[in-house]
């Protein structure tokens, strides 16, 4: 199986920001204490216990190797990370030493002076030579590195094999077939959503826009203009929002759902299909549908094509304000090591960022294949502009989708308003 990953748009990550704090006052600490307590913030996952067990093992080994050192790990909600990180950057005393962050956060956090430049240490780290180049780009800004890649994340289509077999259905080969299949499931089994969708699930919605030829924005080099109101983008918006109906996923119940909500519903046996990530695998396995589902790439407009997926993933970085620089960098490397990434894959389904480790796990776990196929088909990313922080944190795209779903505006009106807000943000970013 070919495992070369071409995440073409991910190369743009170095100038991107999601939910970045609006401050630039963070200063570097002059201290480098070799003992004491290190604070770590990691993201709370759907079904977090397996992740916690892996981390606990890393922490135990680290504390054993560094006498007089303790590690305090806190799991924070992804949705509220912007507020937490902003407060931490403004008040170093409340800040962690080491932090997990989304790959869309990198440039914003660097711009605001929060992340430590670890270029030299990353280069000296023996395992770093096997890092996927595109994953390495996700921690790179202006040629300097500000963390270590933790995992690659992409989404594909989970479906209930028992339901499909009972109803004589086959996995859809186009987005149009996806909608038809979803409605067939709902009609035959009114207690199930056909395809559970969420009005606040931006990265579950964007493949519909991208597959129809739409883009979030056009431009490069930090100068962007919104394209979310183009004819092609509007076609994708309509295709996605048409799924919020009583014959699939009623707007009253689904308009407010985010990605975690949709995966939780599928895992609980309440849906025939869901757009979920490789990182959703463990949560689904722990649910009622264990042994009764399969995964295929989300289809595109043309039969046999794959809809472009968002090139997601998370990183581990050290805050510039840490008073334990050496220890914090060592812990960062341990949390992002080959051993830890292998264990996180086994525990959570997170795709490793090391090319050799990814080949190893894909060989032993068939569920990885549709996600690797999705990666290889080409993925998309958010505009490479610091403005993305404002756009993302102010919920411009979820608001647009929800306005269409609720009937307050049509696709043209909602996308025009979203485009206006995006362009204001792009303009303010210079």
Distance in angstroms (rounded) separating the CA atoms of residues 209 and 125: 40
What is the pLDDT at residue 376? 80
Distance in angstroms (rounded) separating the CA atoms of residues 180 and 242: 11
Q: Which two tokens stand for residue 293?
A: 């589902």
What is the pLDDT at residue 430? 56
SS (H, E, C) 5-39: CCCHHHHHHHHCCCCCCCCCCCCCCCCECCCEEEE
Distance in angstroms (rounded) separating the CA atoms of residues 290 and 282: 10
DSSP state of 230: S
Contacts of 376 (CB under 8 A, 6+ apart): 2, 4, 5, 6
Q: Is the dihedral of CA 346, 299, 136, 366 positive or negative?
A: positive
DSSP state of 44: P
What is the pLDDT at residue 153? 87
Q: How many CA atoms lie within 13 A of 20 on its CB side?
A: 28
Q: Which two tokens stand for residue 96?
A: 């962690």
Q: What angle do CA 324, 55, 38 make, to 5 degrees?
A: 15
pTM summary value: 0.76
Per-residue pLDDT tens, the chain, 430 aa: give them: 333 333 333 333 333 333 333 444 455 667 899 999 999 999 998 789 999 999 999 999 999 999 999 999 999 988 788 888 988 998 988 899 999 998 888 877 887 889 999 999 999 999 999 998 878 888 888 889 999 999 988 999 999 999 999 999 999 999 999 999 999 999 999 999 999 999 999 999 999 999 999 999 998 766 889 999 999 999 999 999 999 999 999 999 999 999 999 999 999 999 999 999 988 988 999 999 999 999 999 999 999 999 999 988 899 999 999 999 999 999 999 999 999 999 999 998 889 999 899 888 888 888 888 998 898 888 888 876 778 878 888 999 999 999 999 999 999 999 999 999 999 999 887 5
Q: Which is nearest to 380 in space by CA: 261, 264, 236, 197? A: 236
């Amino acid at each position: 199986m070919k495992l070369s990953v071409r995440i073409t748009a991910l190369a743009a990550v170095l100038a991107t920001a999601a939910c970045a704090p609006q401050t630039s006052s963070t200063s570097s600490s002059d201290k480098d204490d070799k003992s004491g307590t290190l604070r770590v913030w990691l993201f709370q996952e759907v079904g977090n216990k397996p992740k916690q067990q892996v981390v606990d093992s890393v922490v135990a080994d680290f504390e054993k190797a560094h006498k007089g050192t303790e590690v305090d790990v806190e799991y924070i909600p992804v949705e509220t990370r912007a507020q937490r990180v902003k407060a931490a950057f403004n008040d170093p005393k409340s800040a962690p030493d080491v932090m997990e962050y989304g790959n869309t956060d990198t440039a914003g956090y660097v711009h605001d002076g929060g992340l430590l430049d670890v270029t030299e240490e990353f280069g000296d780290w023996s395992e770093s030579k096997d890092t996927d180049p595109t994953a390495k780009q996700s921690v790179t800004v202006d040629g300097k590195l500000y963390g270590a890649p933790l995992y690659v994340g992409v989404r594909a289509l989970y479906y209930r094999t028992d339901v499909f077999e009972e109803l004589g259905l086959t996995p859809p080969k186009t987005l149009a077939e996806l909608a038809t299949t979803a409605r067939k499931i709902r009609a035959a089994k009114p207690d199930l959503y056909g395809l559970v969708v969420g009005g606040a699930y931006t990265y579950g919605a964007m493949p519909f826009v991208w597959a129809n030829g739409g883009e979030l924005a056009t431009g490069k080099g930090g100068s962007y203009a919104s394209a979310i109101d183009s004819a092609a983008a509007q076609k994708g918006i309509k295709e996605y929002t048409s799924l919020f109906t009583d014959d699939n996923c009623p707007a009253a119940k689904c308009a407010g759902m985010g990605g975690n909500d949709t995966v939780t519903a599928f895992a609980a046996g309440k849906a025939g299909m869901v757009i979920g990530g490789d990182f959703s695998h463990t949560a689904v396995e722990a649910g009622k549908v264990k042994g009764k589902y399969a995964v295929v790439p989300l289809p595109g407009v043309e039969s046999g094509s794959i809809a472009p997926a968002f090139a997601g993933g998370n990183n581990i970085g050290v805050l510039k304000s840490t008073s334990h620089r050496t220890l914090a960098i060592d812990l960062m490397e341990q949390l992002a090591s080959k051993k830890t990434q292998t264990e996180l894959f086994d525990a959570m389904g997170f795709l490793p960022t090391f090319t050799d480790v990814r080949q190893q796990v894909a060989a032993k776990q068939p569920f990885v294949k549709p996600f690797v196929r999705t990666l290889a088909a080409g993925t998309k990313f958010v505009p490479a502009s610091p403005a993305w922080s404002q756009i993302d944190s102010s919920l411009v795209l979820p608001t647009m989708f929800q306005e269409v779903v609720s009937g307050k505006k049509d696709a043209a009106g909602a996308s025009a308003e979203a485009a206006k807000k995006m362009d204001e943000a792009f303009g303010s970013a210079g």
